[in-house]
Amino acid sequence: MAIVKMKHLRLVAMAEDREAVLRLLQHMGCVEVDEAALQKDGPEAEAWEQLKGQMTRLDTQGLSAAREEQSQAERALGVLKRSAPAKGSFLSPKPEVAEGELFDEAAAQQARGCVAEINRLDARLSAIHAEEGKLAAQRAVLAPWLGLDLPLETSSTSQVTIQLGTLPGSVSLEEAQSALQQVGELAQLTQVSADPEWRYCLFVCHDSQAQQGLDALKDLGWSRANLREWTGTAAENDKRITDELADMAREREEIGKKLAGMGSSRPNVQRLCDLAQVNASREESQGKLLNTGKTFLLEGWVPAESWPQLKQALSAYPCAYEVEDPAQEDYPQVPVKLKNSPLTRPLNMVTEMYSLPAYGSLDPNPLMAPFFILFYGIMMADMGYGLLMFLIGSLVLWKKKPTGTMGHLCGLLVLCGISTFIMGAVTGGFFGDFLPQLMKLINPDSTFALPALFTPLEDTMMILVGAMCLGFVQILTGMAISFYKKLRDGQVMDAIWEEVTWWVVFAGAALAILGVTNLVLILGGVMVVAGPVITGTGFGKITGIFGSLYNHITGYFGDILSYSRLMALMLAGSVIAQVFNTLGAIPGNIVIFILISFVGNALNFALNLLGCYVHDLRLQCLEYFGKFYQDGGKPFRPLDLNTKYYNIVK
C-alpha cells in the first residue's frame, strides 16, 4: 500500500534486435519508454557530443501505418454495428485471446481482407446514397415538365424563339396571355403545369416580337428554366432516372445483405483493431529511441520490483544496460504507480480524479479509505440502498470482470454499499420507512418498526455533533500524517510550531471545557505566540502571530463545520424517502403504494448515489488532503499490450 519505487533504465542494444527487444518489453509490460535525450551533462558530456551527430530517430511511417490500419478496422466495425448488430450483454466480459493468436500474421491478413471488403461495400453504399439524392433532385426538377411533349434540348431558330420558364403562382395565365397579346399576335404562352408557388410555361414567339414578349413576361416575374443540358422529353428522362433508381435500390439491397452476412468476421476485425493498437503503441515507443547504424539507445522507467525479471529476460540479447534510483531533483519526471490491497485499490478512482501523489510522497489511498467508505455510508444510511449498491457492484465485478476505472467504480460501490447497509441498520432505514408503511396498509393497527440506535429525524443534533467529531478526528489524522512527513524530511521545528502547537491548543481547550485545568491551554497559547516570534523576522514577528491565529482558528473551524454535510445528506435522503412512501400510502392501495414508493426511492437513490460521492470527495480533497497531500504525480504508462476488445493471455 505505497508508491512503487522506480528505477531509471538506460539500455543499448543491437539495431537488428530493436523490434525483438521492444516486443519483449511490451510482453512484460513493465517499462515506460521515455524520450531518449540528445543532450547529456557531467563527465559523459564530451563523449556524448561526439556521438550526437551519429544518432537519429526513426521516421513515423510505421506509426502512421498502424494508426491508419486501426482507423480502417474501427470504421469496418462501425459498419458491422449498423448492418450486422451483434447480440451481446452489458455484463458480458471481454473475450480472451492468446498473445500468439493476436500476432498471427495469417489471421491478420485475412482480417485485413475483410476490413477492405467491408469498407469498400460501405463506400459504395455511400456513393449510391449520394447518387440517389442527386437523381431524386433531378426528378424534382423534371416533375413540372412531364406533361410537355417536347424535347428539352429544343432551342430557338432564326425565325422562332422558344423558352421554358416560370411565372409566380399569383399571376394568372389569362393575365400573362393578355400581356402578350398587347405586344402582338405572333406570341403564344402555354401552361405545362402549376402549383401554389409557380406556373410552368412554354413560350413560343416569332423572332420579330420575341424581345417585346419576353420583356412583358419579365414584368410579371418570368424566370427562364435551366433545362438546356437535358436531351429528350421530361417523361423520357424521368423514366431513365426511375430505372437508374431501381437498379441502385437493387444494388443497395444486395450490398446490405452482403454486409449483414459478414457479421461472423467481427471477431477477426476486432483482433486486427487490437493488433493495430498494440503495434501503434510499440511504434510510438520506437520513435523515442536514439539510433545509430548498428545500435539503439532506450531510456525509460521500470518498477524496482520488476527489474530482476526484466534483467533476466534481457540476458538473451547482446546489450548493455544500467539502472539507477532517481535523484531528488528528478522526482517530478518520475512516473507514479500505486500498489494497493483489494480493500484500498478502488480508491484509485478518487485519487486519479483529484491528482496522483507526487513521487516520493505518500500514497493517500490507505489513509483515505476508512474515512471515505464510512462517510459515504453515513450520508446514504439506508439498508435497501446499501443492498442495491452491493448487489449491483458485485454482479458487475462477477460477470463483466471490468478493469481500470470501471473496476474501481464497482469495487467502491461494493465497499460503500456495505457501509451504507450497516449505517442503515443503525438508523433503522430500509427504503426510508417502507416496511412500517407497508405493514400499516396491511394492518392499520400495526406498530411495526425496525430497531434503530438513533434516527435522523429524532436525533438530528446528536448526529450533527457526531459528524463534526468524526471530521475533527479526520483533521487530526491529517495533521498526524503531516507531522510524520515533516519529521521524515528533517523539518522538526516546522512540525513543532505547526502540528504540535495546535495539538496542545486542542488538548488544552478540551481540558478547560471539562474543568480539569487551564494550564495546558495557556501553554498552547504561549506556543502559538512563540512560533512566529522565533521563526519570523522584524515586524513579521507581530503580523505572524495574528496571521497564525486567524488562519488556523478560522481554517479549523470552517473545516470541522464542513462535516455537517454528513448529517445534512443523511437527513435529506431519509426525509425524501419517507415523503414518497407517505404519498404512496395515501390512496390506501398496496399496489399504488409499491409503485409510487418504487419510483420515488429510485429517484432518491440515483440522486444520493451521485450527491454522496461528490460531497464525500470534497471532504477528502479539501479538508483532508489539504493537511498533508502532495499532488502532481504523472501516471506510470508502460509499453504494454493495451487492447480494446480482447483481454490478452500472456
Compute the distance between CA of residue 428 and CA of residue 421 in angstroms, rounded to an integer: 10
pTM above 0.85, yes or no: no
Q: Are 240 and 202 in contact (CB under 8 A)?
A: no
Please count the structural domains in the chain.
Answer: 2
Range from 93-97, 343-347, 598-602 that averages highest in pLDDT: 598-602
pLDDT at site 192: 93
Question: How confident is the model at residue 531, as a pLDDT?
Answer: 66
Query: Do the domain assignments include residue 589?
Result: yes
Q: Which residue shows C-alpha cell 432564326? A: 158
End residue of a domain, out of 229, 262, 282: 229
Query: What confidence score (pLDDT) does residue 533 get?
Result: 57
What pLDDT is attached to residue 486?
Answer: 84
The pLDDT, as a whole number, for residue 47 is 55
The answer to whether the beta carbons of residues 344 and 59 sit under 8 Å apart is no
Mean pLDDT for 486-515 is 82
Asked which of 229, 246, 261 is the last residue of a domain, the reply is 229
Q: What is the mean pLDDT of the chain?
A: 88
pLDDT tens for 313-324 read 999 999 999 999
Q: Is 239 among the domain residues?
A: no
Tens digit of each residue's pLDDT (9 = 90 or more) over 228-243: 788 899 999 999 999 9
What pLDDT score was predicted for residue 4? 93
In a domain, 23, yes or no: no
Residue 518 has pLDDT above 70, yes or no: yes
C-alpha cell at 109: 491478413
**Residue type at 526 in one-letter notation:** V
**pLDDT tens-digit profile of 194-217?**
998 999 999 999 988 989 999 999
Stronger pLDDT, 499 or 306, i.e. the higher one: 306
Q: Last residue of a domain, which of 176, 209, 229? A: 229
3-state secondary structure of 634: strand
Tell me what pLDDT residue 98 has: 92
Phi-psi map region of 432: left, alpha, beta (phi>0 left; psi -120 to 50 alpha): left
Q: Which three cell numbers stand for residue 257?
A: 445483405
Q: Which residues contact 138 (CB under 8 A, 6 or more apart)?
A: 237, 241
Mean pLDDT of 396-416: 91
Write down the pLDDT at residue 604: 95
- pLDDT at 519 (0 to 100): 83
- DSSP H or E segment with residue 33: strand 32-34
Q: Within a domain: residue 412?
A: yes
78 contacts: CB under 8 Å, gap ≥ 6: none
Q: What is the CATH number of the domain that holds 158?
A: 3.30.70.2750
Domain that holds residue 225: 154-229
Res 163 pLDDT > 70: yes
Q: Given its phi and psi angles, is residue 5 left (phi above 0), alpha (psi -120 to 50 degrees) or beta?
A: beta
> Is 333 within the bounds of a domain?
no
Within a domain: residue 504? yes
Q: What is the pLDDT of residue 539?
A: 45
| SS3 per-residue string spanning 373-406 | HHHHHHHHCCHHHHHHHHHHHHHHHHHCCCCHHH
pLDDT tens digit sequence for 33-70: 998 776 555 556 555 555 555 667 777 788 999 999 99
Judging by beta carbons within 10 Å of its beta carbon (0-12, 13-18, 19+), is residue 567 exposed, middle or buried?
A: buried
Q: Report the C-alpha gap between 401 and 95 in whole angstroms.
A: 11
- Structural domain contains residue 356: no
Q: Is residue 341 part of a domain?
A: no
pLDDT tens digits, 383-405: 999 999 999 999 999 988 888 88
Mean pLDDT of 89-110: 89
Amino acid occupying residue 443: N
